[in-house]
Amino acid sequence: MKKKEAERGAGEVDPLGRAKARADEAWKAAQEAEKEWIAAAKARTPEAWREAIDGIGDRTVRIHAACVVWWDHFSTRPASSAWTHLDEYKAAWRADRGADPKIVRKALMQIGYPERLAERRVKIEEQGGSVIVATE
Q: Which tens digits make up the pLDDT trace of 10-46?
A: 556 799 999 999 999 999 999 999 999 999 999 999 9
Residues 18, 70: one domain?
A: no
HEC string for 37-67:
HHHHHHHCCHHHHHHHHHCCCCHHHHHHHHH
Say if residue 64 is in the same domain as residue 20.
no
pTM, two decimal places: 0.73
Summarised one tens digit per residue, pLDDT across range 62-116 is: 999 998 998 888 887 777 777 888 888 888 876 546 788 899 999 999 999 999 9
Rounded distance, CA 73 to CA 47, Å? 12
The domain tally of the chain equals: 2
**What is the span of the domain harbouring residue 94?**
45-133
Same domain, 124 and 76: yes
**Which strand (E) or helix (H) includes residue 4?**
helix 2-8
pLDDT of 5 over the 70 cut: no
pLDDT at 136: 52
Whether 20 and 82 map to the same domain: the answer is: no
Same domain, 125 and 100: yes
Judge whether 1 lies within some domain: no
Nearest one of 130, 127, 70, 122 to 95, comparing CA atoms: 130
Q: Write down the pLDDT at residue 3.
A: 52
103: helix, strand or coil? helix
Rounded to the nearest angstrom, the gap between the alpha carbon of residue 40 and the centroid of all alpha carbons in its chain is 14
- 69 with 93, same domain: the answer is yes
The answer to whether 71 and 117 are in contact (CB under 8 A) is no
Contact 41, 112 (CB under 8 A): yes
Do the domain assignments include residue 119? yes
Residue 115 lies in a domain: yes
Q: Is the pLDDT of residue 55 over 90?
A: yes
**In whole angstroms, what is the distance from residue 1 CA to residue 13 CA?**
15
Q: Are residues 20 and 77 in the same domain?
A: no
Q: What is the pLDDT of residue 134?
A: 54
